[in-house]
A and B are shown apart, each in its own frame.
Chain A
Amino acid sequence: MDLSVLPRILTWLPMTKHAHTDIPHGTLGSYVLGFALSIFLTLLAFWVAPQLGTLAVPAIVITALIQLFVQLIFFLHLGSESKPRWNLVIFSITGLIIAIVIVGTLWIMSNLEHLHMMPLTTQELYEDGMVSPAHELH
């Protein structure tokens, strides 16, 4: 997807490029819009999201994700460089690695904690795949 069209559509302003290099940069319009969106999303996250009860956690996470992309597109101009989009490629791999490291760590550590910190019945251990059915027969 060509992310560079987003600010262009939203601001009706052309995204200009340096004549001699490929470094994209914003315009006053795109900065103002990015700033306004960020403020809006921040206020949403601080004032509205925590009031949503059970939906508070997903609401906070989602506003954070949206704001992440707003900043990446309006301030860091991600995706608006000319092809091949190495910045975007490296950024995507980074995102994947971050996901692997954080999710992996949480999975491994919660698994350990589960096993070491809490007294479990054989039935629970079996359900978690920590003992085999043969073990249960004893």
Chain B
Amino acid sequence: MKKHDTHEQVSFGLWVYIMSDCILFASLFAAYAVLHTQTAGGAGGAELFDRSFVLIETLILLTSSFTCGLALLAARAKNTVGVWLSLLATFALGATFLGMELSEFGMLVSEGHSWAASAFLSSFFTLVGTHGLHIFVGLSWLIALFIYLGIRGLTPKMSKRIVYFSLFWHFLDIVWICLFSLVYLLGSL
């Protein structure tokens, strides 16, 4: 008898899916690279990006990635309290990150630099926004995990799901490295 959806298959399948997501980001990066000089006479990255704000965002996301790793270790040690604490920390950090991103967007729009102002801003909002959307999906995934964890506890199934979630969450970290380096840092030079 062979069981379907075994751990090996699912984590490999998720990895394969993540690769396709990388290509999605690559096409958005390509669009940004082509359009980032097209400011239509408006402000460019150098005037708009706040480097220290982005540094705080980055540190928050990096820490959330670390707490996500801790959740994995706690799950392996069958430490339910540890899993709860580390996943809640991941959620809080992720939500803070998303909140900061949205407040940055709100600031830009209120100062007249909305996505409709130039091709540069369109591609910027879309690229960063797509990462934000992925963070949102990750947070929804966490909520789904909390619901299961609250009702069923730390079952073996749950431990596997934490592994899958961590794969996705670490991947978002990697995309963000490309984002802050290529968009914010190079853009603010």
Interface residues of A (CB under 8 A from B): 18, 21-23, 25-28, 31, 34-35, 38-39, 42-43, 45-46, 49-50, 56-57, 60-61, 63-64, 67-68, 71-72, 75-76, 86-87, 90-91, 94, 97-98, 101-102, 105-106, 109
Contact = CB atoms under 8 A, between A and B. Distances in A.
Contact of B27 (A22, A63, A101): A101
Interface string B141-170: 000000000000000000000010011001
Given A27-B73, A57-B186, A87-B15, A35 B23 contact: no
B19 A91 contact: yes
B182 interface: yes
Given A98-B23, A106-B30, A50 B62 contact: no
Contacts, number: 116
B107 interface: no
Contacts of A68: 174, 177-178
B55 A98 contact: no
20 contacts: A18-B7, A27-B73, A38-B65, A42-B59, A45-B180, A46-B55, A46-B185, A49-B185, A50-B188, A57-B186, A61-B182, A71-B177, A75-B166, A76-B167, A87-B12, A90-B19, A97-B23, A102-B26, A105-B33, A106-B30
Place the interface of chain B in its size category: 35 or more
B34 interface: yes
A129 B188 CA distance: 34
Interface in B47-80: 51-52, 54-55, 58-59, 62-63, 65-66, 69-70, 72-73, 76
Contacts of A46: 51-52, 54-55, 58, 185
A75 B163 CA distance: 11
Contacts of A109: 34
Given A42-B59, A42-B62, A98-B22, A90 B16 contact: yes
Most chain A C-beta atoms within 10 Å of own C-beta, residue among B62, B72, B181: B181
7 closest pairs, A vs B, by CB?
A64-B181, A31-B69, A35-B66, A105-B30, A98-B26, A94-B19, A75-B170
Contacts of A97: 23, 26
Contacts of A67: 177
Contacts of A43: 55
A46 B62 CA distance: 14
Contact of B70 (A22, A31, A60): A31
A76 B69 CA distance: 10
A98 B26 CA distance: 6
